């Protein structure tokens, strides 16, 4: 594994390796066992969008691994004033040991990897969110003991979260159902990948049918630009897609509910069901730290 650009690049073995190391690093952190695998190494963190979890967990994770994180706002870099990503990649490769980037276009992340000579980590693009999905898988395995054969149902927009969960869940041996309104389907190459798994994958438009007997239900915000005409359209298109206690009654009695956060209560999730599952949701947020430390240790120190 040279980079973490998208879930489609990973194998089942690589996912398990990341999760096993994440569990070990979490244990070591909780027991005060130092793990300074990245002493003397620097990570550039380029942000073109706002972030709470990704920024703080990567920055803290690098510190705990003995390395040095640099927060790089795209507004302050020359990349924000038109310097090509190809040049930025080649320059930053001369200073840093790795780059984590949060941006819009997946191509920008792929270009960084192509033109640079250091590991690149995708911290969210419009296409995918691999760090989040690895944390989700870690949380499910931690709470349920295993992933293979469990039923995962995503309810929401078929964009970055759905694209990554479908691939990550199937690679981990789970049965995956994705429930999206018409017009919000996952990416074509993700669906092509998923259809190779036959009956282990279903794409539906009815949340009630989708969550039936699920072990884990996952949702994410779909109204990310409130006050815009796009937002008005989404509020109409996603009517009936809110995850509520009532909807969860169709899942297994002990089903988990995950949300990558930030949550929009009253839109994709009800306030009541969020609080019922808050322990799982905040474990999931915490596991961003541990799983990303595993990714960093593997990519930057060959662990």
Question: Does 122 sit near ligand CP (CB under 6 A)?
Answer: no
Using the rule CB under 6 A, give the single segment among 52-60, 83-91, 228-236, 249-257 that binds ligand CP: 52-60
Nearer to ligand CP, 203 or 216 (CB): 216
* Strands (E) located in 27-142: 42-47, 68-73, 98-102, 120-122
Distance of alpha carbon 154 from alpha carbon 235, whole angstroms: 18
Between 37 and 53, CB nearer to ligand CP:
53
Q: Of the candidates 73, 69, 89, 92, which has an alpha carbon nearest to the alpha carbon of residue 81? A: 73
259 sits near ligand CP (criterion: CB under 6 A): no
125 binds ligand CP (CB under 6 A): no
Report the alpha-carbon distance of residue 87 to residue 120 in Å, rounded.
15
Stretch that binds ligand CP, among 9-17, 49-57, 150-158, 248-256 (CB under 6 A): 49-57
Residue 164 CB partners (closer than 8 Å, separation 6+): 6, 7, 128, 129, 130, 132, 133
Residues 129-148 that bind ligand CP (CB under 6 A): 132
Please, are residues 171 and 13 in contact by the beta-carbon 8 Å criterion? no
Q: How far is the CB of 37 from ligand CP (least distance, A)?
A: 23
Residue 39, Ramachandran bin (φ over 0: left; ψ between -120 and 50: alpha; else beta)? beta
Residue listed under structure tokens 């990704």? 54
Q: Which DSSP string do the residues of 83-94 spell out, in sequence order?
A: --HHHHHHHHHH
Report if residue 124 touches ligand CP, rule: CB under 6 A: yes
Q: How far is the CB of 11 from ligand CP (least distance, A)?
A: 24
Q: Is 186 helix (H, G, I), strand (E, B) or coil?
A: coil
The single residue among 14, 16, 24, 51 that binds ligand CP, judged by CB under 6 A, is 51
| Count of positions on this chain that bind ligand CP (CB under 6 A) | 8
Contact segment (CB under 6 A) with ligand CP among 10-18, 25-33, 48-56, 149-157 equals 48-56
Helix (H) / strand (E) containing 77: none
Please, what is the minimum distance in Å from the beta carbon of residue 249 to ligand CP?
27
Tell whether residue 221 is a contact of ligand CP (CB under 6 A). Answer: no
103 binds ligand CP (CB under 6 A): no
Contacts to ligand CP by CB under 6 A: 51-54, 124, 132, 260-261
């Amino acid at each position: 594994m040279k980079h973490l650009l998208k879930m489609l690049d990973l194998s089942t073995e690589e996912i398990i390796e990341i999760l096993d190391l994440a569990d070990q690093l979490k244990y070591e952190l909780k027991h005060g066992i130092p793990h300074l695998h990245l002493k003397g190494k620097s990570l550039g963190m380029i942000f073109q969008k706002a972030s709470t979890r990704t920024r703080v967990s990567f920055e803290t994770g690098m510190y705990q691994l003995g390395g040095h994180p640099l927060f790089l706002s795209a507004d302050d870099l020359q990349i924000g004033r038109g310097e090509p990503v190809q040049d930025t990649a080649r320059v930053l490769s001369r200073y840093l040991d790795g780059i984590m980037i949060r941006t819009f276009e997946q191509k920008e992340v792929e270009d960084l990897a192509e033109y640079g000579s250091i590991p690149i980590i995708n911290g969210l693009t419009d296409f995918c969110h691999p760090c989040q999905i690895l944390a989700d898988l870690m949380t499910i395995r931690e709470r349920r003991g295993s992933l293979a054969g469990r039923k995962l149902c995503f309810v929401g927009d078929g964009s970055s979260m759905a694209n990554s969960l479908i691939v990550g869940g199937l690679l981990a041996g789970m049965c995956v159902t994705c429930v999206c309104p018409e017009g919000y389907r996952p990416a074509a190459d993700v669906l092509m990948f998923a259809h190779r798994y036959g009956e282990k994958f279903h794409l539906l438009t009815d949340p009630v049918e989708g969550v039936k007997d699920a072990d884990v239900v996952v949702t994410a915000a779909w109204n990310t630009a409130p006050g815009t005409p796009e937002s008005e359209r989404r509020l109409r298109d996603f009517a009936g897609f809110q995850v509520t206690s009532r909807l969860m009654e169709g899942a297994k009695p002990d089903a988990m509910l995950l949300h990558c956060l930030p949550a929009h209560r009253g839109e994709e999730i009800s306030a009541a069901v969020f609080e019922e599952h808050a322990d799982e949701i905040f474990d999931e947020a915490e596991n961003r730290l541990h799983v990303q430390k595993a990714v960093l240790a593997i990519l930057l120190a060959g662990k």
